[in-house]
């Protein structure tokens, strides 16, 4: 197979793709951890720092107005990426982790109580599991799990019984960062809405790799990070559906989130400022906006199509190796596996010697590792700038590692 023709020129947008690692051509297969950054994003951040690196909102001078306009434009671009309705809210956070914690502590603790249930899956990244454990500890609610099969697939026929009238929150991944599996969201959202439960979606992988419309998939909260989709680290967003924002309390207090402050009491600014206390990550937000424009220009449909096709090639080629065990199911650009008899860490170190970057370990998903009965896996994860040659290099590397350890 060859890379989709329309994506080929995009490879030139990523300066790091011509880098070398360990003296070899750099093969980057760790996009699940973070993506590489195109020139337009690097330039947007550099231009903020070189041309108008001043604070937003407070200044009445030209540069501050420019910084404020760019910051606000980024919010509009992020909203457009997920097709947010105009009466929804996009709050800038430091990333998916903070976004989910914000839902947990500025909304859930006030809306969940003893006798209620919070439903998650064993597929969750720790950042969509641990906050819910803490909410249950604080409120007395019960943490329950939507059943998954041995391959990590949600049991469709169990959704109806798992989401009960006691369920207040369904917190589910949009796409597993370990296997790439995409749960049946539409059924989950429709059932949750019918039972009066709010849906919190961890979109860290999903929003970066699939076209997402919160109008077609009406979740209550959607958390995602810029750095998984060509943007900078330390910035992300929480989308809040219309109606839900009025139910949220601020969870950090200070400058920028207030309307009026008196000696003994204060009032809050309207959202989203209410949830963005202090000087925000201005450069990050500007880079995030540039990243959303970039991936939309590449085309989310084209990204999804390329990853599905190359992901199939990846899984087929790795699966053909008779010394490898695969986990999960095909369908996306994430592939988890183990080389039998070799610790995943040793596989990762061996591949690194060949200039190939993969992730090894439990991928912040220890309960899923327990479910698969492994201590960790090797994960190769693609983005739209990966080529079949990257997969071929990985496969050749795995054969070499097998030979060395044999």
Residues in touch with ligand PLP (CB under 6 A): 32, 95-97, 125, 127-128, 173, 177, 202, 204-205, 225, 236
* Cβ–Cβ under 8 Å, residues 257 and 269: yes
Shortest approach of ligand PLP to residue 66 CB, angstroms? 28
Instruction: Tell me how far apart the alpha carbons of residues 258 and 315 are, in angstroms, rounded to a whole number.
Output: 51
Shortest approach of ligand PLP to residue 198 CB, angstroms? 18
Shortest approach of ligand PLP to residue 357 CB, angstroms? 15
Shortest approach of ligand PLP to residue 228 CB, angstroms? 7
Cβ proximity to ligand PLP, 128 vs 386, nearer residue? 128
Cβ proximity to ligand PLP, 174 vs 289, nearer residue? 174
Half-sphere exposure of 312 (CA within 13 A, CB side): 8
Instruction: Tell me how far apart the alpha carbons of residues 249 and 233 are, in angstroms, rounded to a whole number.
Output: 26
Instruction: Tell me how far apart the alpha carbons of residues 252 and 270 are, in angstroms, rounded to a whole number.
Output: 14
Which of 329, 283, 309, 295 has its CA nearest to residue 207?
295
The three-state DSSP-derived secondary structure of the chain is CCCCCCCHHHHHHCHHHHCEECCEECEECECCCCCCCCHHHHHHHHHHHHHCCCCCCCCCCHHHHHHHHHHHHHHHHHHHHCCCCCCCEEEEECCHHHHHHHHHHHHHHHHCCCCCEEEEECCCCHHHCHHHHHHHHHHCCEEEEECECCCCCECHHHHHHHCCCCEEEEEEECCCCCCCCCCCHHHHHHHHHHHCCEEEEECCCHHHHCCCCCCCCCCCEEEEEHHHHCCCCCCEEEEECCCCHHHCCCCCCCCCCEEEECCCCEEECCCCHHHCCCCCCHHHHHHHHHHHHHHHHHCHHHHHHHHHHHHHHHHHHHHCCCCEEEECCCCCCEEEEEECCCCHHHHHHHHHHCCEECEEECCCCHHHHHHHCCCCEEEEECCCCCCHHHHHHHHHHHHHHHHHHC
Cβ proximity to ligand PLP, 231 vs 355, nearer residue? 231
Shortest approach of ligand PLP to residue 139 CB, angstroms? 23
Between CA 112 and CA 116, with CA 113 as vertex, the angle to 5 degrees is: 80
Residues with active-site annotation: 364
Instruction: Tell me how far apart the alpha carbons of residues 130 and 364 are, in angstroms, rounded to a whole number.
Output: 11
Cβ proximity to ligand PLP, 314 vs 398, nearer residue? 314
Shortest approach of ligand PLP to residue 177 CB, angstroms? 3
Shortest approach of ligand PLP to residue 255 CB, angstroms? 24
Cβ proximity to ligand PLP, 89 vs 127, nearer residue? 127
Contacts of 51 (CB under 8 A, 6+ apart): none
Cβ proximity to ligand PLP, 335 vs 354, nearer residue? 335
Shortest approach of ligand PLP to residue 93 CB, angstroms? 9
Cβ proximity to ligand PLP, 78 vs 354, nearer residue? 78
Cβ proximity to ligand PLP, 125 vs 387, nearer residue? 125
């Amino acid at each position: 197979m060859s890379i989709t023709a329309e994506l080929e020129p995009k490879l030139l947008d990523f300066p790091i793709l011509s880098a070398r690692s360990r003296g070899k051509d750099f093969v980057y297969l760790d996009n699940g951890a973070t993506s590489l950054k195109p020139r337009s994003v690097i330039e947007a951040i550099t231009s903020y720092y070189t041309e108008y690196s001043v604070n937003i909102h407070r200044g009445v001078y030209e540069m501050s107005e420019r910084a404020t306009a760019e910051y606000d434009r980024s919010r509009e671009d992020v909203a457009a990426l997920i097709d947010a309705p105009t009466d929804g809210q996009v709050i800038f956070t430091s990333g998916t982790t903070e976004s989910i914690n914000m839902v947990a502590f500025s909304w859930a603790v006030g809306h969940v109580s003893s006798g209620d249930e919070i439903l998650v899956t064993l597929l969750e990244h720790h950042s969509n599991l641990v906050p819910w454990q803490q909410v249950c500890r604080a409120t007395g609610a019960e943490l329950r799990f939507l059943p998954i099969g041995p391959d990590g697939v949600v049991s469709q026929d169990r959704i109806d019984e798992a989401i009960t009238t006691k369920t207040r929150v369904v917190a589910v991944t949009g796409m597993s960062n370990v296997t790439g599996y995409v749960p049946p969201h539409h059924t989950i959202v429709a059932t949750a809405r019918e039972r009066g439960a709010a849906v919190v979606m961890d979109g860290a992988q999903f929003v970066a790799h699939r076209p997402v419309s919160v109008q077609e998939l009406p979740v209550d909260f959607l958390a995602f990070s810029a750095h998984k989709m060509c943007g900078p680290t330390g910035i992300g967003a929480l989308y809040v559906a219309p109606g839900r924002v009025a139910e949220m309390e601020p969870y950090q207090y200070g400058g920028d989130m207030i309307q009026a402050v008196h000696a003994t009491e204060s009032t809050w600014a309207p959202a989203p400022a209410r949830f963005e206390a202090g000087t925000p990550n201005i450069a990050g937000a500007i880079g995030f906006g540039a990243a959303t424009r970039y991936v939309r220009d590449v085309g989310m449909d084209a990204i999804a199509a390329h990853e599905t096709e190359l992901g199939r090639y990846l899984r087929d080629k790795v699966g053909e190796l008779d010394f490898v065990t695969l986990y999960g199911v095909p369908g996306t650009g994430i592939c988890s596996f183990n080389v039998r008899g070799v610790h995943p860490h040793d596989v990762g170190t061996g591949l690194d010697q060949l200039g190939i970057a993969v992730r090894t370990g439990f991928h912040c998903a220890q309960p899923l590792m327990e479910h698969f009965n492994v201590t960790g896996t090797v994960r190769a994860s693609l983005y739209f700038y990966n080529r079949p040659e990257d997969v071929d290099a990985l496969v050749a590397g795995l054969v070499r590692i097998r030979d060395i350890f044999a």
